Amino acid sequence: MSARPLTLVLVSTPVGQLGSGRGGGVELTLASLVKGLVQRGHRLHLVAPEGSCSPVQDARVTLHTVPGVDQPSWQHAERNASMRIPCNAVLPRLWDRALELVGDGDALVNFGYDWLPLWLTPHVEPRIFHLVSMGSVSAVMDSAVADLARWDQRRLAFHTHRQADDFDLVEPPEVVGNGFDLSRYDLQLSTDGPLGWAGRVAPEKGLEDAASVAAGLGETLRVWGFVEDDAYARRVESAVPAGTIEWCGFKPTSELQRELGRCRALLNTPKWNEAYGNVVVEALACGVPVIAYDRGGPGEIIQSGETGWLVPPDDRDALAEATLSVSSIDRHACRHWVERCASQEGLAARVEAWIRKGLKPADGTIT
C-alpha cells in the first residue's frame, strides 16, 4: 500500500522575491521541488516574500506572501559577524505565517540559510526540516547547524557530501543532490559556439578568472546572471579588453537554456565551497561540457574527462588548457549524466524519503 500524501509548508528564502533571481540557486531548487512533489500527489503551501511568483499553477499549491525588508545574505557578511535581522524584516514574518499554516499539516521545510528557523526547530511542536543551501560561511550558522545535528540530525539535508563536510555533524549526512525539470532543457550538439559563464555576478563566483581565460584566448565570454555587485562587475570588465564580456542578464529558464546550449563550454570558477552548482547541471542538461575548479559541489558533480574537466582551484592556466581540450567531451554523455542523477522526479523522491524518515518519533536534546 502506498504512503498517504503529505501536506507540507515550504518556506522560501528571505533574501528576495521568488522569480527575481536574488535567491540564486535556491529559487531553481524550490521550483523543481514544488513541481516534483506535486507530481507525487502532495499538498503544498508555499510561503515567500511579497511579490513572489509561484513556480507552478496547480490546485495543490497555495502561495502565501508576506511583506517585509529582505534579509541580508550570509554570503556577504564577515565570518564572525553576529546574526542581524533588519527592522520590519521579512524573515520573522515568513515564519509567523508558516507556523500559522502548518495546522494539521505534516511538516515545514525551510529553504533559507538563516539562524532563526534553525533555532526555532527544537522549540516548536511542528516538525521543521532544513535543506541547507550553502556551505560554511558563518560561525553563527555553523554553530546553529551543529546544535541541531546534536538534537536531531534527521532534520537536516544537504546537496552534496562536500557541502556537508563543512559542518560538525554527528552522523553521516543526508545528501539529496538536486533536480531539474529536464523537459525544459534541450540537448544541443553544436561544438563551435562561444564560451559561457552563469551565476550571480558577485566576488565569490570568480567571474574575473573566466574573463581572464577568455581574454587570453581572444574570445568573447557570454555571461548570464543577476548582477548583485555592480562595482565588482565593472572591475571585472575593466580588467579585460573591451568586448571580452557580453552581458546577457538574468534570463528565465526557457531563454537561458536556449542561449546557454549554443556554447561549446561553460566555465565555472567559484572562489568558495559551492553547495551544489545548479548552473553546472543546467549546462550539462543542454549537452554543454563544464570546465570547473575542483572545489565544492561542482567537483562532486563533474565527471572529469566525461562531462567536462576539473582543474586545480584558482589555476587560470589549467582552466585555459582544459578549455582547449573540450572538443573531446561527448555532449550526449553530459545529458545522460543529468538524466541519471539530477532529474526533478529523483529529487522529489529523495526529499520525500528524507522527510518521512524524520517524521518517525525520536527524542533529542541539544548538548
In a domain? residue 56? yes
> Which residue did the predictor score with more confidence, 213 or 253?
213
Say yes or no: 171 and 24 in one domain.
yes
Mean pLDDT over residues 208-236, rounded?
96
The answer to whether the CB of 106 falls within 8 A of the CB of 9 is no
Q: What angle do CA 268, 269, 271 make, to 5 degrees?
A: 140
Chain-wide mean pLDDT for the chain?
94
Q: Compute CA distances 114 → 11, 16, 68, 142, 216, whole Å.
A: 11, 13, 16, 11, 40
Strands (E), the chain: 7-11, 43-49, 61-66, 107-110, 128-131, 156-157, 195-198, 221-224, 245-249, 265-268, 290-293, 308-311
Say yes or no: 294 and 227 in one domain.
yes
| 202, 205, 208, 213 alpha-carbon torsion, rounded to 10° | -150
Burial of 273 (0-12, 13-18, 19+ CB in 10 A): buried
Return all residues near 81 (Cβ < 8 A) that are at least 6 apart.
Answer: 138, 140
Residue 337's nearest CA partner among 277, 258, 268 is 277
Provide DSSP, 282-306.
Answer: HHHHTT--EEEES-HHHHHH--BTT
Cα four-point dihedral sign 254, 259, 264, 265:
negative
In a domain? residue 197? yes
Say yes or no: 15 and 163 in one domain.
yes
- Say how far apart CA 150 and CA 236 lie, in whole Å: 43
The answer to whether the CB of 38 falls within 8 A of the CB of 74 is no
In a domain? residue 228? yes
Give me the pLDDT at residue 267, please. Answer: 98
Confidence band of 287 (pLDDT split at 50, 70, 90): very high
Cell numbers given for 114: 538563516
Residue 362 has pLDDT above 80, yes or no: no
Give me the pLDDT at residue 131, please. Answer: 98
CATH of the domain at 256: 3.40.50.2000
Q: Compute CA distances 324 → 6, 99, 140, 206, 214, whole Å.
A: 49, 53, 43, 20, 11
Mean pLDDT over residues 40-52, rounded?
96
Element of type H or E holding 135: none
Placement of cell 535543506 in the chain:
131
Say yes or no: 329 and 349 in one domain.
no
Mean pLDDT over residues 275-283, rounded?
94
Say yes or no: 129 and 206 in one domain.
no
> Which residue did the predictor score with more confidence, 23 or 144?
144
Cell numbers given for 205: 563566483
Say yes or no: 249 and 221 in one domain.
yes
Say yes or no: 165 and 230 in one domain.
no
Residue 329, domain extent: 182-341
- Provide the number of structural domains found in the chain: 2
In a domain? residue 158? yes
In a domain? residue 367? no
Say yes or no: 217 and 116 in one domain.
no
The answer to whether the CB of 62 falls within 8 A of the CB of 80 is no
Report the DSSP beta bridge partners of residue 252: none
Say yes or no: 130 and 193 in one domain.
no
44 CB-side CA count, 13 A:
29
In a domain? residue 203? yes
% of the chain beyond a pLDDT of 90: 87
Report the DSSP beta bridge partners of residue 281: none
In a domain? residue 274? yes
Residue 134 has pLDDT above 90, yes or no: yes
Provide DSSP, 11-79.
Answer: E--TTS-TTSSTTTHHHHHHHHHHHHHHHTT-EEEEEEETT---S---TTEEEEEE--BPPPPGGGS-T
Confidence band of 21 (pLDDT split at 50, 70, 90): confident
Residue 267's nearest CA partner among 205, 352, 353, 216 is 205
Say yes or no: 12 and 152 in one domain.
yes
Residue 366 has pLDDT above 50, yes or no: no
Say yes or no: 125 and 223 in one domain.
no
Q: What is the CA radius of gyration of the chain?
A: 20
In a domain? residue 276? yes
Element of type H or E holding 357: helix 344-359
Residue 1 has pLDDT above 50, yes or no: no
Burial readout 10-25 (b: 16 or more C-beta within 10 A, e: otherwise) = bbbbbbbbbbbbbbbb
| pTM across the whole model | 0.90
Say yes or no: 249 and 352 in one domain.
no
Residue 155's nearest CA partner among 203, 123, 186 is 123
- Say how far apart CA 6 and CA 313 lie, in whole Å: 42
- Say how far apart CA 61 and CA 56 lie, in whole Å: 7
